[in-house]
Amino acid sequence: MPSFALTRDGVRVAYEVTGTGRPLLLVHGLGDERSLWSPLVERFAQHFRCVSLDLRGHGQSTGAVDFDPFGLHRDLDAVISDAGLERPVLIGHSLGGFVATTYAGAHAAKVRAVVNVDQPLALATLGEAVSAHVAALHAGKVSETLMFVLSLLGLGPADDTLTARLEQTRAALPKEVVLGVWGPFLGGDLSPVLARVDALLAQLVAPYLCLLGRDVDPAYAHWLAARLPDATLEGWTGLGHFLHLVAPDRFVARVREFVADL
């Protein structure tokens, strides 16, 4: 059974704690939920205290009306406080990678490090893709739209079981959640969003590991280095957007190595 942390805006955030040791806070992506981390929690819990949560609008978390992606870090802050976590390492996948990054920027003293799993922070391309499908979202085609966006990101060698799981969780996601999370990208002019990202990264001082499930684009490497010069950026060719689930042992080993070097 999960515990629940209460945010300042009244959201009850479901979370679970497994294992002992240095704390890891695991943050899922849009349309997923904390249970998707289970194969990794089983491995991490041998060495760490693992805390996985459901972001507002997902899983068993309840009561949200605001899904602004720049404010979702409130969910993390509530769980960190409620669970008594001291400077956790944040591990976020996709949207969760962005949320972990915003939290580290807003609460530098509360974070030990960040592992961003396949969420590039140069958001112009994502914004263009999202804007092109807003009509489908308004029509209620949530699962179809999200799975299409995932296909653009690349599922890699994800098996049928994982793909079916992704479709299932996305089918249960209310369109209001997706429209709220993608809201900043739907106004046409992305410059305010991109400026907010730059301001956020200027505040981020935590050690930062970014893992992509494809070859690293040199242009993105240059973009990231200009903003986070000490960040480590790695491309795991051919593994796709869910690289942590496709290659869990490799992922856990890399995170353990990263944490040991802190």
The confidence score (pLDDT) of residue 233 equals 98
Average pLDDT of the chain, as a whole number: 93
Could you read off the pLDDT of 57-69 as tens digits, one per residue? 999 999 889 999 9
27 inside domain: yes
Q: Helix H segments across the chain?
A: 38-44, 73-83, 95-106, 124-131, 134-138, 142-153, 160-171, 175-181, 191-202, 218-227, 243-246, 248-260
With a CB cutoff of 8 Å and minimum separation 6, the contacts of 240 are 153, 154, 155, 156, 157, 158, 213, 214, 246
**Separation CA 249–CA 125 (nearest Å):** 31
**How many domains does the chain contain in total?**
1
The domain of 76 spans 3-121+191-260
Could you read off the pLDDT of 225-252 as tens digits, one per residue? 999 999 999 999 999 999 999 999 999 9
pLDDT category at 259 given cuts 50, 70, 90 is very high
Which of 22, 178, 10, 30 shows the shortest CA–CA distance to 98?
Answer: 30
**Separation CA 48–CA 54 (nearest Å):** 19
50 inside domain: yes
User: Does 46 have pLDDT greater than 80?
Assistant: yes
163 inside domain: no
φ/ψ of residue 15, rounded to 5:
-150, 160
DSSP code string of 22-49? EEEEEE--TT--GGGGHHHHHHHTTTEE
51 inside domain: yes
3-state SS class at 11: coil
**Bridge partners (DSSP) listed for residue 14:** 4
Could you read off the pLDDT of 132-161 as tens digits, one per residue? 777 888 888 888 888 888 888 888 898 889
Residue type for 229, please?
Answer: P
173 inside domain: no
pLDDT category at 201 given cuts 50, 70, 90 is very high
With a CB cutoff of 8 Å and minimum separation 6, the contacts of 98 are 69, 92, 116, 119, 121
59 inside domain: yes
The confidence score (pLDDT) of residue 189 equals 79
CB atoms under 10 Å from CB of 110, counted, come to 18
The confidence score (pLDDT) of residue 130 equals 77
* Mean pLDDT, residues 83-91 taken together: 98
Instruction: Say if CB 146 and CB 173 are below 8 A apart.
Output: yes
| Residue 261: alpha-carbon gap to chain centroid | 23
Which element (helix H / strand E) includes 173?
A: none
CATH code of the domain in which 113 resides: 3.40.50.1820
150 inside domain: no
141 inside domain: no
**Separation CA 216–CA 236 (nearest Å):** 8
Length of the chain as a residue count: 262
* Mean pLDDT, residues 1-19 taken together: 96
**Lowest-confidence range among 6-10, 134-138, 168-172?**
134-138
HSE-CB of 8 using CA atoms within 13 angstroms: 7
Instruction: Say if CB 53 and CB 13 are below 8 A apart.
Output: yes
